Amino acid sequence: MPFRGADLHSHSTCSDGRETPATLVRRAVEAGLSAFALTDHDAVHGIPPFEEACSGTGIVPVAGVELSVVEGDEEIHLLGLFLDAGEPGLAGALAEVREARDRRGEAMVERLAAHGVVLDLAQIRAKVGAASFGRPHVARELVAKGHAGSMDEAFERFLVKGRPGWVPKARWSLAKGIGAVHAAGGLAVLAHPVWYGDPESLVARGKELGADGLEAVHPDHDDRARLRFSALAGRLGLLVSAGSDHHGSGEAGAEVGSCRLDEAAWEKLAAAAVERRAGSGRPPLDLSPR
């Protein structure tokens, strides 16, 4: 079977995506992917159903997570890829992060109410369920109740810094995030560098702290950005990753399979992942197609 690409960034209903892990896997099959990662925000409890859904598809499932961490005063998104999702340290720490996200969700709703925009917290929480409560959950409710015409408008009017519903998140340091990913036997990859104020310095800092790779291919990167960040990764000795950051149609990110890693880059990433896992004391990494 020739290699048909790897999409290593996606979100399910276990964080702020609209589709279940099984639906995402169906999309990955339709897109003809060879490898596919689930990388929910601050959550790994989608990984068991994700891996189960990959069974019989011929896809190589990559267990992942996307951590919101801080470096300086900037929020950085750190992907953990090829993780052992059952590693107890990571799972326990993420449960605490999700509790903090729930308290922040409550604070967002309170702040909006003080501003005259009244939403039903219980109703939002019911939709969040066991997922990680994020701004998209509030944004959807703002759209559903007619306070905004689109998700983008909901963010811009209510949910970004300086707007009435804005509440910052409690975040780990970048160093702590990288350490947690490594302890779970995974590779730490800096996501969508175009988002950061000074990506060159930030990525160099990440490398110093032990990051393994850089997501050079992402829907927010045009051709120039792709080249810029592939070259940056090359200069710093970082691996290259690629992902659609799919959240569902009409949401942030793009369709599953729209951003793909080629075979050569995948082979390098996979080899590094096998080596990392072998040195981590966690069970060996299985990269066979399921």
Positions in the binding site for ligand AMP (CB under 6 A) = 16, 41, 68, 134-136, 151-152, 155, 169, 247, 251-252
Residue given tokens 């959240």 in the structure block = 247
Q: Which does 155 bind (CB under 5 to 8 A by kind): Fe ion, ligand AMP, Zn ion, none?
A: ligand AMP
Give the whole-angstrom CA distance, residue 138 versus residue 144.
10
> Among 238, 245, 259, 273, which residue interacts with Zn ion (rule: CB under 5 A)?
245
CB of 243 to Zn ion, least distance (A): 8
Counting contacts by CB under 5 A, is residue 77 touching Fe ion?
yes
Counting contacts by CB under 5 A, is residue 137 touching Fe ion?
no
Structure tokens at 93: 């720490």
Measured from the CB atom, is 44 or 191 closer to Fe ion? 191
Q: Is the CB of residue 206 less than 8 Å from the CB of residue 190?
A: yes
> Among 16, 42, 71, 215, which residue interacts with Fe ion (rule: CB under 5 A)?
16
Give the whole-angstrom CA distance, residue 101 versus residue 42.
9
**Among the residue ranges 121-129, 227-235, 240-248, 272-280, the one whose residues contact Zn ion (CB under 5 A):** 240-248
Measured from the CB atom, is 200 or 220 closer to ligand AMP? 220
**Among the residue ranges 82-90, 100-108, 225-233, 239-247, the one whose residues contact Zn ion (CB under 5 A):** 239-247
Measured from the CB atom, is 13 or 280 closer to Zn ion? 13
The tally of CA atoms less than 13 A away on the side-chain side of residue 109 is 20
CB of 288 to ligand AMP, least distance (A): 31
Q: Which does 27 bind (CB under 5 to 8 A by kind): Fe ion, ligand AMP, Zn ion, none?
A: none
Quick one: DSSP state of residue 15?
A: T
Q: How many chain residues are in contact with Fe ion, going by CB under 5 A?
A: 3
For residue 213, list its beta bridge partners: 189, 239
CB of 41 to Fe ion, least distance (A): 5
Counting contacts by CB under 5 A, is residue 42 touching Zn ion?
no
The residue at minimum Cβ distance from Fe ion is 77
Give CA angle at 253 (155, 55), nearest 5°.
Answer: 130
CB of 66 to ligand AMP, least distance (A): 8
- Cα→Cα distances 76→190, 230, 241, 289, Å: 8, 19, 16, 31
Residue given tokens 């910052």 in the structure block = 168
Give the whole-angstrom CA distance, residue 33 versus residue 4.
5
Measured from the CB atom, is 68 or 230 closer to ligand AMP? 68
Give the whole-angstrom CA distance, residue 74 versus residue 156.
19
- For the chain, the distance separating the N- and C-terminal CA atoms, rounded to the nearest angstrom, is 13
